[in-house]
Structure 1
Amino acid sequence: MQKSEMLEDYDNILFKSRSILKEYTLCDNCLGRFFIKLTGFSSSRRLGSRIKDSLNFTTITKCYICKNLLTPSNIYVKMMQDASTGYEFSSFLVGATLKRSVVDRDDKIRSKFRLRGVDSIKTEVTRELGKKFAKKTKTSLDYLLPNITFTMNFRTDKCEVKAKPVFLYGRYLKNKGGISQKQESCQDCKGTGCIFCSNHGIVHFDSVEGKISQFLYKKFGSDQVKFTWIGGEDKTSLVKGDGRPFFAKLISPKRQNIQLPKKSVFDEITVNDLRKIDYIPRGSIPFRSKITILVMAKKGISSNKLKKLKQLINIPITLTGTHGKQTKKIVHKLRYRKNSLQSFTIEIDTDGGLPIKRFVEGNSVIPNITEMLNIKCFCKKFDINQIILSK
């Protein structure tokens, strides 16, 4: 752009600024914001000050739009510093909640004076706070993947901070029965987090979920952990082999870069191969399970009759859910051995998600063991020998 054109543009800016300032008193930030994209300036405040100097205009009252919202900006920067105490971060993003009246006044002037392509007051506020906080803390603004995100609420004069989640993958073994996979939610908040559960969403730590969560709270400084389990087992079941895979999402952890042990033991629970991952896969994750099932029959059963169990191999097993939805599973391999007149053990290699007790007892699963043998059967116990993720 030639110098003459630049001067002409600046004259137009001064002309429009004079019209605005005749009716409204604006701070340097708000005035400069309206025209900064037409100039080479990097600061709305400096541009606004330059325009006022050119017009011999002095601000002596509050800004009509923001009521001098950014004048005490150091106060808000201090609030951001206080809110982020204890967090490890090198990048951040700032969001803001403004009073509706501030936004309305900004919209009114932009519409009245036909100011097109102008950043909103909210954008200006977050940009200015971001620049000052970055300079103060020697960190950087990141609009894509910030370590932490601030939300400055100008309605309540409060600042909230959230860290980006950490995603983990691991496998757990259960070496003793009597431990549930999932932890019961806090009765007061139903799992959302409250003062009575220290925002964890759970109160007790006597399950697989509870024991692993407690470890992760301490390691990462996170309040909550959300698990995605690859299948489940009964409270009495053991989990052997390489263990059951799981994913964990840590909500707003204060620490991100933590060295994780390859093996951790929490009483009867062992966690192996715990590591950070980029994301948790969406949708259902296909897998196969190798399971040992102890079955009790209501009456005596012959070895010859048990041979019928082989008919369950490689045929569709139809599961009917509570709302009538049907899914199909396949038992790929099956072996059995008779223990006593009314007891036998089955070892199966099956698609993941087959409900073992229902498969034995015949509750909305067709075909099933009870039906196949024509004798009422009960699942006394089952153990997980191996979980294999499908590629």
Structure 2
Amino acid sequence: MDLPTVKEKRDSLIENEELCDHCLGRQFAKLGHGLENYERGLVAREIDDLTEDSFVESNVPEEASEKHRCGCEFCGIVFDELDHWTQLVIDSFDRYELETFLVGIRPPEEVVASEEELWSEYGTEWTEPIKTELSRLIGKRIEDRMDIVVDFERADIMAVVDMRDGKDRVELQVNSVLIYGQYNKYSREIPQTEWHCRKCRGSGCDECDWTGKQYPTSVQEEIQEPFIRESKAIEAKFHGGGREDVDAKCFGKREFVLELIEPLNRDLDLEALKKEVNEGTDKVEIFNVEFTHKDKAADIKQKHADKEYRAQVETEDEVSEEALENISEVVGVIEQDTPERVEHRRADKTRKREVYEVSWEVTGPKSFELTVKAEAGTYIKELIHGDEGRTQPNISDLIGTQAECTQLDVTWVEK
């Protein structure tokens, strides 16, 4: 069955329905450029031989804004109340710093039902949903009254206008402020993020001195406090590009994204905050701080960054220079079963990882310093001690005596 022409659809709508100019024009919203729907409605009434090319500015009647009528059984009085809805949104923004916004609409239920009936009868060719028109019109009014702009991709705040009966309210979806940076960790006593107490799981007990935490602080906590304070966010989330062990230092400038949840303030002086963090702690230092977006957080968490490590190793027996030369045999692909120390939180499986480079320097009769560059996800401590054979090959087997990593540093992280 052929679709009706623009004229046929217009004639049928005018003959059978009592449509206001907004609702008539909305049936042809995808025709023409630079017109409001009420102007399309006026064109549809004025031009007898209506075509797809009729919706141009030159066909809009003079004094159109004064001539058009709004309000019919299909839209009720929603277009009469545009200024009311606009002011509600502006008032809801009062506490927040923002540069971009987006408006969502929950139209009256009877309006949605009437619109769907109209579509079922006359089709959806060239049409626009009423909630889209309302969102656009309210958005334009807000842009005119405030120094902010609509952003469909990364709006600071989305205001959802609830026009349903008895609601008359605006709900705000405040998007996070995301800050990219890199950190070094200079303490061997703190994890990357807050750990709940193993005994009470965060509720507080004698063992954790009623803090609910396994460790007094963390990389996240050392960094986030000034950012939360200045943004007036309700909380923060820390997205790290991998993590080092609690007892390992990191000198490799590991990437992270700090997500500030529901902030009131967005205009943050990042250099001043970076300086405050760095001067306020000797446990952590941050670098290269800048605003970013949610895609960056996902990117660094999914990235498998190669790393270089420096390990202090002690052996059970003295090791000859000849035996130490065997360490080079770990270069290449190794197989590591899930280490015993993490099997309670990691899937038990065999992982293949590549060791790219190794070097060593003797520091004593039963000790040496090991440098390893390896693929992301390589367990370095297990590479050294073997984890009772769960890592193959391993350095303990290669040098002929048990070796233990007594100190580990991350010296380089791939960016």
* TM range, smaller chain: 0.7 to 0.9
Instruction: Give the SS at the match of 1:238.
Output: strand
The CA RMSD measured in Å over matched residues stands at 4.1
| 1:32-87 superposed Cα distances (whole Å, 9 cap, x missing partner) | 42345567883335666898999xxx999x84334433433333223322332333
Q: Residues 310 and 372 (structure 1 numbering): CA distance in 2 closer, same or farther, change over 3 Å? A: closer
| Structure 1 position 15, deviation (Å) | 6.2
Q: Residues 203 and 76 (structure 1 numbering): CA distance in 2 closer, same or farther, change over 3 Å? A: farther
Q: Residues 10 and 316 (structure 1 numbering): CA distance in 2 closer, same or farther, change over 3 Å? A: closer
Q: Aligned ranges for residues 90-101 of structure 1 at < 5 Å? A: 90-98=99-107
1:234 alignment partner AA:
D
| 1:212-261 superposed Cα distances (whole Å, 9 cap, x missing partner) | 22232234444454444334222222233x53333344455444443322
Aligned to 1:19: 16
Query: In structure 2, what is the Cα distance between the partners aligned to 1:205 and 1:86?
Result: 34
The answer as to whether partners of 2:337 and 2:349 remain within 8 angstroms in 1 is yes
Which of 302, 307, 311 is the matching residue for 2:324? 307
Aligned to 2:367: 344
| Structure 1 position 162, deviation (Å) | 3.9
Q: Residues 336 and 133 (structure 1 numbering): CA distance in 2 closer, same or farther, change over 3 Å? A: same
Query: In structure 1, what is the Cα distance between the partners aligned to 2:326 and 2:94?
Result: 62
Which of 116, 119, 127 is the matching residue for 1:110? 119
Structure 1 unaligned runs (5+)? 1-8, 192-201
Q: Which moved more, 1:274-283 or 1:360-369?
A: 274-283
Aligned to 1:181: 192
2:394 alignment partner AA:
N
| Structure 1 position 108, deviation (Å) | 0.9
| Structure 1 position 28, deviation (Å) | 5.0
Aligned to 1:195: none
**1:120 and 2:153 correspond:** no
2:243 alignment partner AA:
G
**1:362 and 2:386 correspond:** yes
| 1:321-364 superposed Cα distances (whole Å, 9 cap, x missing partner) | 53535231215122143546xx5243213124322232233233
Instruction: Give the SS at the match of 1:346.
Output: strand
The answer as to whether partners of 1:312 and 1:331 remain within 8 angstroms in 2 is no
Aligned to 1:292: 311
Q: Aligned ranges for residues 128-147 of structure 1 at < 5 Å? A: 128-147=137-156
Q: Residues 31 and 309 (structure 1 numbering): CA distance in 2 closer, same or farther, change over 3 Å? A: same
1:355 alignment partner AA:
Y
The answer as to whether partners of 1:245 and 1:387 remain within 8 angstroms in 2 is no
The answer as to whether partners of 2:194 and 2:220 remain within 8 angstroms in 1 is yes
Q: Residues 365 and 27 (structure 1 numbering): CA distance in 2 closer, same or farther, change over 3 Å? A: farther
Q: Residues 164 and 315 (structure 1 numbering): CA distance in 2 closer, same or farther, change over 3 Å? A: same
1:389 alignment partner AA:
E
Query: In structure 2, what is the Cα distance between the partners aligned to 1:320 and 1:115?
Result: 59
Structure 2 unaligned runs (5+)? 1-5, 48-67, 203-212, 339-346
Which of 220, 226, 229 is the matching residue for 1:218? 229
Instruction: Give the SS at the match of 1:125.
Output: helix
Aligned-pair identity (%): 20
Aligned to 1:260: 270
Instruction: Give the SS at the match of 1:381.
Output: strand
Which of 65, 68, 84 is the matching residue for 2:77? 68
Relative to the length of structure 1, the TM-score reads: 0.73
Q: Aligned ranges for residues 226-237 of structure 1 at < 5 Å? A: 226-237=237-248
Q: Residues 181 and 308 (structure 1 numbering): CA distance in 2 closer, same or farther, change over 3 Å? A: same
Q: Which moved more, 1:35-44 or 1:146-155?
A: 35-44
Instruction: Give the SS at the match of 1:218.
Output: helix
Instruction: Give the SS at the match of 1:94.
Output: strand
Q: Residues 336 and 232 (structure 1 numbering): CA distance in 2 closer, same or farther, change over 3 Å? A: farther
2:129 alignment partner AA:
S
Aligned to 1:196: none
Relative to the length of structure 2, the TM-score reads: 0.70
Instruction: Give the SS at the match of 1:71.
Output: helix
| 1:73-126 superposed Cα distances (whole Å, 9 cap, x missing partner) | 333223322332333333322122346654332121122134621111221221
Aligned residues: 357
Q: Which moved more, 1:123-132 or 1:142-151?
A: 142-151
Instruction: Give the SS at the match of 1:181.
Output: coil
Which of 231, 256, 273 is the matching residue for 1:246? 256
2:99 alignment partner AA:
S
**1:371 and 2:397 correspond:** yes
Q: Which moved more, 1:307-316 or 1:37-46?
A: 37-46
| Structure 1 position 20, deviation (Å) | 0.5
The answer as to whether partners of 2:327 and 2:398 remain within 8 angstroms in 1 is no
Q: Residues 204 and 91 (structure 1 numbering): CA distance in 2 closer, same or farther, change over 3 Å? A: farther
Q: Residues 260 and 115 (structure 1 numbering): CA distance in 2 closer, same or farther, change over 3 Å? A: closer
1:356 alignment partner AA:
I
Q: Residues 315 and 16 (structure 1 numbering): CA distance in 2 closer, same or farther, change over 3 Å? A: closer
| Structure 1 position 10, deviation (Å) | 8.5
The answer as to whether partners of 1:27 and 1:68 remain within 8 angstroms in 2 is no
